[in-house]
Amino acid sequence: MNEVLALQSLSPVTILDRTEFFDGLSRLHLEKVADICQLKRYYPPCDIYRHGDEAEELYVLVDGTVMFAVGFGERNASAGNTLRRGNVFGWAALTPTANHRIATASCMTPCTVLAINGKSLLELMERDHTLGYLIMKQITLLITGTLLAFAAG
């Protein structure tokens, strides 16, 4: 079986369960999040999103390589972070009062992502505060890491 078919056969629950960001979530929580996900495939040259876009989804990189470059004003940083399998990106989808992208995420290779609907995840988090707390703990670490990487150049 080729790798693409193998990836397509993975369920969203399995992908979430294998992603460090979602460690600590119960099986029920993983299933709730999986219900608001969909697998998407992108091919270079392609941006998954661009600096300034409205942030609608949080992403888990299932396969491929993505260049993540933080922007300021009308420009992106000349350097960026290389994201690989298991990385989570697109956290602006979970910041409802400031939900525009601060970076550009560009495919360097063919990529498969698990796209999580941000609005639906926020609603789940509001209804289930344990889920909300666990996700926000991880989002805080993700934002801090993004900003530290940007500051380090």
By 3-state DSSP, what share of the chain in percent is helix, strand and coil, each rounded to 5? 40, 30, 30
Alpha-carbon span 75 to 21, nearest angstrom: 29
Note the pLDDT of residue 143.
Answer: 83
For position 71, what pLDDT does the model report?
67
Q: In this structure, what token pair is assigned to residue 105?
A: 């995420």
Q: How many angstroms separate the CA atoms of 39 and 130, rounded? A: 26
**What single-letter amino acid sits at 43?**
Y
Cα 52 to Cα 135: distance, rounded to the nearest angstrom:
24
Nearest to 139 by CA among 103, 93, 77: 93
The encoded tokens of residue 61 equal: 């990189």
Residues with Cβ < 8 Å from 133, sequence gap 6 or more? none
Per-residue pLDDT of the chain (153 residues; tens, 9 = 90+): 344 445 556 899 999 999 999 999 999 999 999 999 999 999 999 999 999 999 999 999 999 999 988 765 455 454 568 999 999 999 999 998 888 998 899 999 999 999 999 999 999 999 999 999 999 999 999 888 767 666 665
Q: Is the distance from CB of 90 to CB of 53 less than 8 angstroms?
A: no
Q: Is 38-126 a domain of CATH 2.60.120.10?
A: yes
Write down the pTM of the prediction: 0.87
pLDDT at 5: 42
